[in-house]
């Protein structure tokens, strides 16, 4: 297979040095999960999970790695990523959802809703991107506000480049944290447009539905209760996913 030329912006992001010590040593930038340059549909979060690179606080063993890290590249964990490493890193990101890969189970739950619009995560048409392309330890919620703002500011230009892709039409968010963040991110105008309720134990929980636009006029849809955090019975989960799927189907005009 012929090696693909790497876009200048992708190359620059891959070789850019980590901006804070919170970035996991030995990790590499996650440009996208799947290929954002070909996908028309993407989900969006704040930054990659530490579980993409770590298992019990150590880099994932070779046989179970999800992405290309510095161990895979056979360089020191604190060594800079060089241009010669860029193709392998980008290929690992593009192929994240290939049948032989080991994607994080976080994506499994979203696939159960995406099926209602004839979508699933793959290497060409549906991907995942983040506002920040670096995985951190501690996790995002435990970083200082100074650290998180620095990471957001440092990666914003590359995120805008991703969103500018003409092939990319729709952005889906899954969770209140990313909703709160994009509300204060330049270029986004997203509001709560409805609710879907579900029972969790003896409580009636409200999942807010959100809709709006992102940079370059992209359609933004989503909800504020992350699917992975649904601690409910299987019948309740199935019913809730069906309601979300039907709402999504109506919104995308299927």
Evaluate whether residue 72 is within a structural domain: yes
Query: Domain tally for the chain?
Result: 1
Alpha-carbon distance of 33 to 27, in angstroms, equals 15
Asked if residue 151 is part of any domain, the answer here is yes
In a domain, 82, yes or no: yes
Q: How far apart are CA 71 and CA 228, in angstroms?
A: 29
Is pLDDT at 83 greater than 70 in this prediction? yes
pLDDT of residue 197: 92
- Say what the pTM is: 0.95
Query: pLDDT, tens digit, for every residue of 122-154?
Result: 878 999 999 999 999 999 999 999 999 999 999
48-67 pLDDT per residue, tens: 999 999 999 999 999 999 99
Q: How confident is the model at residue 3 (pLDDT cuts 50, 70, 90)?
A: very low
Q: Which domain holds residue 163?
A: 8-251
pLDDT of residue 199: 85
Helix H or strand E segment including 236 = helix 234-251
75's CB contacts (< 8 A; 6+ apart) are 81, 85
CATH number, domain at 12?
A: 3.40.470
């Amino acid at each position: 297979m012929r090696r693909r030329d790497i876009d200048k912006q992708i190359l620059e992001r891959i070789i850019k040095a980590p901006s804070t010590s919170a970035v996991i040593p030995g990790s590499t930038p996650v440009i996208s999960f799947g290929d954002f340059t070909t996908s028309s549909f993407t989900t969006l979060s704040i930054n990659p999970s530490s579980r993409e690179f770590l298992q019990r606080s150590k880099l994932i063993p070779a046989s179970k790695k999800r992405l290309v890290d510095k161990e895979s590249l056979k360089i020191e964990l604190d060594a800079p990523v060089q241009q010669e490493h860029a193709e392998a890193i980008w290929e690992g990101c593009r192929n994240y959802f290939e049948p032989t890969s080991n994607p994080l189970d976080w994506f499994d739950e979203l696939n159960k809703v995406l099926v209602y619009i004839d979508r699933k995560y793959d290497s060409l048409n549906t991907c995942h991107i983040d506002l920040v392309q670096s995985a951190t330890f501690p996790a995002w919620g435990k970083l200082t506000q100074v650290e998180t703002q620095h990471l957001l500011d440092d990666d914003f230009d590359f995120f805008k480049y991703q969103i500018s892709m003409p092939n990319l039409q729709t952005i889906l968010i899954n969770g209140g944290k990313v909703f709160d963040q994009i509300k204060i991110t330049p270029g986004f105008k997203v509001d709560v447009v409805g609710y879907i309720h579900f029972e969790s134990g003896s409580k009636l929980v409200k999942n807010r539905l959100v809709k709006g636009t992102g940079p370059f006029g992209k359609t933004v849809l989503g909800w504020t209760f992350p699917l992975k955090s649904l601690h409910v019975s299987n019948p309740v989960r199935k019913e809730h996913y069906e309601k979300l799927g039907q709402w999504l189907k109506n919104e995308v005009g299927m």
